[in-house]
Amino acid sequence: MDRHNVSVQQQVNQWLELERQGLNKAQQQALNRWLGESRAHQTAYQESKQVEQLLSQFSGQEIAQLERPAKDSKLKSKTTQRYFAMAACFALFALSFFGYQTWFFQINEDTFHASYQSTRGELRNISLPDQSRLTLDAKTSLAIDFDGGRRSNKLLSGRVLFDVASDKSRPFVISAGSTKITVLGTRFSVDKKANSVRVVVDHGRVHVQNQNQQIALTKGQMAVVDSDGIVKTEFDPNLNLVDAFKQGRLVFDNAPLNEAFEEFKRHHAISYTLTAQSTEQLVISGTFLASELESFLNLLPHVLPVEVKEYNNHIVIVDSQ
């Protein structure tokens, strides 16, 4: 690596450290200007972010297990070295093939393109050039495409809390499957599930539409959009449905049991089976910590007519009647 590349990488490392601490408005603008100065800056930043994401897939225990065999014997040392060589080759391939899947680039003040993903159990806070702020829940994928006339977002999966800065000349639009949400400036969350989309409004006015309907939501209202249409309801503000996930809480209000398990899957490497049609029709209400899956499983037989069986990381729910 020549002296210029070393200097660029050092700057990238400084920006990444500032990001981990949380960029303020001036720092975010400075980072965007720095990225716009050259393609080399963009490439170095994107590759470093991808490496950081790859490394985040390994726990401290896994890293320790990889390091430990190297001390046991020459044979194991060679095996470990071979493993790391293969991992390094895969990382380089991933960088070349997937390196631009998580990226952002700003051409001018209005034009901004980005792609963000979060992993299992991860929350990501993002500041956008228009001063909007986003929080991605775990297992979420979001693509952004801003121009001079519209601020477009595509929610591919997961849940996002949007705190949208007002800009009357550029509506803020989120597409989640066939559902479209349009605002000018407000705070709300959008949760894209397998067969539905849920929109919950904290304040402001939000327009929700599908192929056949269009409704407006205001503070304290929510909508569920599925194949049957759009259903609008009101919720108790004390439930904090909009941003409970930011505090690691899962709030269920007559939620189908399978939806509750899908929420926990965002934070735990599990699978589950509901063995009878009756269990699929059960609903649950309450607030649970996302980190305390075991407590949730222990509670289920006390509030629902079910039995819980666990096989490694697979959970089976059976009818107790």
Domains of the chain by residue range = 3-98, 107-239, 248-319
pLDDT at 39: 73
* CATH domain 107-239 topology: Jelly Rolls (2.60.120)
Answer yes or no: are the C-beta atoms of 275 and 302 closer than 8 Å. Answer: no
pLDDT at 105: 63
Task: Name the residue among 263, 274, 256, 269 with its Cα closest to residue 312.
Answer: 269
Q: What is the pLDDT along the chain (321 residues), one digit of tens a residue?
A: 445 566 777 788 888 878 777 778 788 888 888 887 777 788 778 777 766 666 565 555 554 554 454 444 444 455 555 555 555 545 444 444 443 345 566 666 678 888 888 999 999 999 898 999 999 999 999 999 898 888 999 999 999 999 999 998 999 999 999 999 999 889 999 999 988 999 999 999 999 999 889 999 999 999 999 988 999 999 877 777 899 999 999 999 888 999 999 999 999 999 999 887 677 788 999 999 999 999 999 999 999 999 999 998 899 999 886
pLDDT at 315: 95
Q: Which helix (H) or strand (E) holds 96?
A: helix 74-98
Task: Name the residue among 174, 184, 137 with its Cα closest to residue 153.
Answer: 174
pLDDT at 45: 80
Answer yes or no: are the C-beta atoms of 252 and 260 closer than 8 Å. Answer: yes
pTM, two decimal places: 0.67
Answer yes or no: are the C-beta atoms of 104 and 115 closer than 8 Å. Answer: yes
Answer yes or no: are the C-beta atoms of 139 and 157 closer than 8 Å. Answer: yes
The CATH class of 248-319 is alpha beta
pLDDT at 107: 62
The structure tokens listed for 197 are: 């989309």
Q: Which residues of 232-270 are buried (b: 16+ CB within 10 A; e: fewer)?
A: eeebeeeebbbbbbeeeebbbeebebbbbbebbbbbbee
